[in-house]
Amino acid sequence: MGAATDSTQRIILGLKEIILYVSDMEAQVAFYRDKLGLRVLHPSGLDSYRDEYWVVFDTGQCRLALHGGGERDFGADAPKIVFAVADFDVALARLIAAEINMGPERSPAPGVRVSDGKDVEGNVFSIESDVP
């Protein structure tokens, strides 16, 4: 394929987060916080993260989100790349017009709009927009 057009390049604002599926949230938080020195953004200040299903770390421009609460299924639970978009409806329409098979819109948290797609090798990615 040729180079992306100017309008296609503006669909993606930047890499927002990488979601890593984990089975032992307490151990994983201890690793990323205590061993690597990442700061917990949400939820912060807890004595235990054992019962948490979503923990977000500050890694600079991109966030690392740990998603817990299930048995690990390698392949299905591979890390997921999440791209930020400014206008969810416009971005979704442009990606569909570019013949990218995008899944239905979902809202995993209040004010968050997400749609999943796959690249040419089947790797899952998401576009995400926070509703103002």
pTM, to two decimals? 0.73
Q: What are phi and psi of 32, to 5 degrees?
A: -70, -35
Contact 124, 117 (CB under 8 A): yes
- pLDDT digit string, tens, across residues 13-46: 889 999 998 889 999 999 999 998 999 999 999 9
Confidence of residue 76 (pLDDT cuts 50, 70, 90): low
Task: Give the fold, CATH level 3, of 6-130.
Answer: 2,3-Dihydroxybiphenyl 1,2-Dioxygenase; domain 1 (3.10.180)
- pLDDT digit string, tens, across residues 37-56: 999 999 999 999 999 999 99
CA dist 65 and 70 (Å) reads: 15
Please choose, from the candidates 85, 84, 49, 83, the residue with its C-alpha nearest in 3D space to the C-alpha of residue 67: 49
Domain residue spans of the chain = 6-130
